[in-house]
Amino acid sequence: MPRQYQFRTQDGVESVQIAVRGRQVLARPMLNFGPAYTPEQRRALGLVGLLPPAVNTLNEQLKRAYRQFSSQPDALSKYVFLNQLQDLNEILFYRLVAENLDEMLPIIYTPTVGQAIQEFSNTFDRPRGIYLSIDDPDGIDDALGSHGQGEDDVDLIVVTDSEGILGIGDQGVGGIRIAIGKLAVYTTAAGIHPLRAVPVVLDVGTDNLELLNDPGYLGVRHARVRGERYDAFVARFVAKVKEHYPNAMLHWEDFGADNAHRILETYREEHVSFNDDIQGTAAVVAAAALAAVRAKGEKLSEQRIVVYGAGTAGIGIADLMRDIMVSEGLSREQAERRFWGLGSRGLLRSDAPMRAFQQRYARPAEELAGWTSSGRYDLAEVVANVQPTILIGTSAQAGSFTEAIVRDMASHCARPIIMPLSNPTPKAEAVPADLIDWTEGRALIATGSPFAPLEYGGVSYEFAQANNALVFPGIGLGTVAVRATQVTDGMITAAAQAVAEMTSARRPGSPVLPSMRQLRAVSAAVAVRVAQAAEAEGVATRTLANPIQDIYDLMWQPVYPRVEVVDRIEQASSRPQDQTASQGEVADAPGGSDKREGQEAKDGSGRSRARKA
């Protein structure tokens, strides 16, 4: 198929060559600039009469789009509006979100995306992403091929099997929306080009009976497949990704606890892999903990840490914090003894059943023999006996950090660090207002969902949201920048340290993490540190000559490019070496393209940066 359009950047200026005409221009989200097209461009592109006569700038369109967004009656309606805008005019969508991050990030990402996922089959309109069915494993190859990119045209794939979506569990095929939301954050925060990122759902069935009995459900209609058949399907997917997109980072998202750790450990050395629920959550929570203990003039290795909800996320947090403690001088065994994890059966202990990945944090029976305990080993008993300095909640058990538990903790700790991280908000273990009240304003707090500031005792308190968006976009960008062959533990630690260094919690009431308003700057800082860590650990296949400038240059900006109307698109090999390019061929699917021909264009540093639509 002839090439349809091509984005190119030279000397910091982006242009787009367009070889389609009329409605075909407006049908493509990356080409539909709406009334921003000038009269001359409209005549040349066959758009006369297809747009209202007025010419609007991007800023004028932003004002109108924001009014339309604000007029929506509720959060889900705002999500639907933004989703439709993304399918209509992708550049305007990303610019609107970037200009209103505080307000719109909770809409396109957590918590509102959870409701949108639950309503997927009812609100489905235009397909976006790749849907892979366990009932058709042979179709994986065709599906990846149909998306159209060549082997070096994709930097990032976000994939989910939808079993552990946020705090709402198994959502079947609707989980595609968490992958789409993650990629929107990658683009908004870290400038990952939208044409170089692919959302994927592995539809292996669902155990959600409400979905299975919904006549409108769009996924495969049977119970969730597990065991050997599931593993074979995942293995086939990874093999085909390696074949089609050998350099793309696989971001594993919202897999169930039984699979998340196992899949990451199985494939992290085989194909560059990252699990946000394990590694991203760990990095942002570790960043909050580092900033909080520094505010107290202490070290992380001096803390006693209780993790309530020691599943996929909770153990991931403990593992990273353990590694930081080791870097501060503890042995691995000493560091692991600084954690008390509670799962569904209470405290992890040597005489109780648990998953394999939890066993390293099991407390020995001889230790517990000296406890004051009824034998339940619940949270109240653990806090009473451990007297923790840090309390982390990843349990999705609303209100589980009770007044009695918090007051008990605060009675033994001058500045307790308390992190109720479960989201959406109704799942939170506690709310900041209560924590401040119960600790007389002494608590250092990070939460999973956003909470408004409050006044207490004449002090204004701001609450850090331990949102993975502070780390995962920068981890992805840094990994892509140096084309790392792995995402190492050292790279995750570097991300946590970068975020922790961007804030100071020494002033009473100040947050322990940067504001989401700083997200793009935070992502760039994380990317630089991650890239440097990858080079130091020998997993980078590219070297950044000037890391700050090189990272900045890689970050796509949502602005309308200069338009060049052409009859045909030149092949990539004919472009000068200091240009970048994105080419489009497929007429119908947003984000689709045919495989490119010829040699890839390079940027000034020699790094490949070709992008295809």
Can you list the domains of the chain with their CATH numbers? 1-19+566-613 (no CATH), 109-271 (3.40.50.10380), 279-466 (3.40.50.720), 470-554 (no CATH)
Q: How would DSSP label each residue in 341-403?
A: EEETTEE-BTTS---GGGGGGPBPHHHHTTS---S---HHHHHHHH--SEEEE-S--TT-S-H
**What percentage of the chain reaches a pLDDT higher than 90?**
80
Report pLDDT for 378: 95
Q: How confident is the model at residue 166 (pLDDT cuts 50, 70, 90)?
A: confident
* Residue 259 Cα to chain centre, angstroms: 19
Q: Which of 166, 60, 163 is nearest to 106 (CA)?
A: 166
Per-residue model confidence (pLDDT) at position 27: 96
The yes-or-no verdict on residue 17 having pLDDT over 60 is yes
Residue 399, φ and ψ in degrees, nearest 5:
75, 10
pLDDT at residue 97 above 50? Answer: yes
The whole-number average pLDDT for the span 586-599 is 34
Pairing of strands 249-253, 156-160: parallel
Q: State yes or no: is 37 an active-site residue.
A: no
For the ranges 288-297, 477-486, 563-572, the lowest mean pLDDT is seen at 563-572
pLDDT above 60: residue 603 = no
**Mean pLDDT value across residues 324-334:** 97
pLDDT digits (tens, 9 = 90+) for 118-141: 999 988 888 899 999 999 999 999
Higher pLDDT, 395 or 587: 395
> Is 182 labeled as catalytic in the residue annotation?
yes
| 402-458 pLDDT, tens digit each | 999 999 999 999 999 999 999 878 889 999 999 999 999 999 999 998 899 999 999
For helices 312-327 and 257-267, give the axis angle rounded to 10 degrees.
50
Which is the catalytic residue, given 109, 361, 377, 461? 109
Please name the residue that has the structure tokens 């093999």: 239
Report whether 343 contacts 300 (CB < 8 A): no
Token output for 575: 């472009």
Annotated catalytic residue within 78, 79, 182, 361: 182
Is the per-residue pLDDT at 600 higher than 70?
Answer: no
